[in-house]
Amino acid sequence: MEPVATNSSEAAHVAAPALAAAVRVVAEEGPPAGVRDAWQIELGDGRYDVTVAAHAGPELLRVDTAGGTVEIAQGRVVIIVAGTRTEAELRTGVATWIAKGGARTPLAVAPAEDDAPDPKASPSDLARQADALLAAGRRDAAIRVLDFLVTAHPDSPPARAALLDLARLLKAASRTDEARCAYALYLERYPGKEQLADEVEGALGRLGPGPACTGLRPR
């Protein structure tokens, strides 16, 4: 007697991959995202709003397109795909564009007009602007203002506290290499206060090794 093939209910069921709980993808235009695994998706032509909530682990979401890959640590990115052309606009958080050849470019949040530091503003006004932005939950904008303050007015009284605030905010934003440079620049500029220097050295040490710095910028 010939064997009888099992029906689908008897066959082993293979579950489709599901996205991690921290990931949310909205297809505003175009087909739904293809889910490869919990931390990797593929997008076709269209416009997509991708959010990765803050999470405890080191996982990064890989968003593959025909033009390259967007790697998101946390935050929100709007991605537009048209053939081999991909536009990725970082709204909040930390993300990196990876070209087909492997070159990596950190994405930056485009500043709103009222976020941009005023070149004519005094150091004290810039410090107040950064405080107001931070109180409004706009950390990336506050980072830009503090960066401008400590770069354009390095010898001003507000620059010392601003540089330490900048280092802490960069660390909180997972911009580790930049945070390391900010802490190192603080020690270079303000070596006098021993107790505070010890605190800064401890924070710098906890970040671990990294690239050398030119001022606030990793080389």
Q: Taking each helix axis from N to C terminus, what angle separates 123-135 and 157-172, rounded to the nearest 10 degrees?
A: 30
pLDDT value of position 182: 93
How far, in Å, CA of 160 to CA of 149, rounded?
Answer: 10
pLDDT band at 109 (very low <50, low <70, confident <90, very high): confident
pLDDT band at 10 (very low <50, low <70, confident <90, very high): very low
pLDDT band at 172 (very low <50, low <70, confident <90, very high): confident
Average pLDDT of span 21-25: 95
Which class is domain 123-218? Answer: mainly alpha
Q: Would strands 46-52 and 34-37 be described as parallel, antiparallel, or unpaired? A: unpaired
Q: What is the dihedral of CA 85, 89, 90, 96, to 10 degrees?
A: 20
pTM of the model: 0.52
How far, in Å, CA of 15 to CA of 120, rounded?
Answer: 59
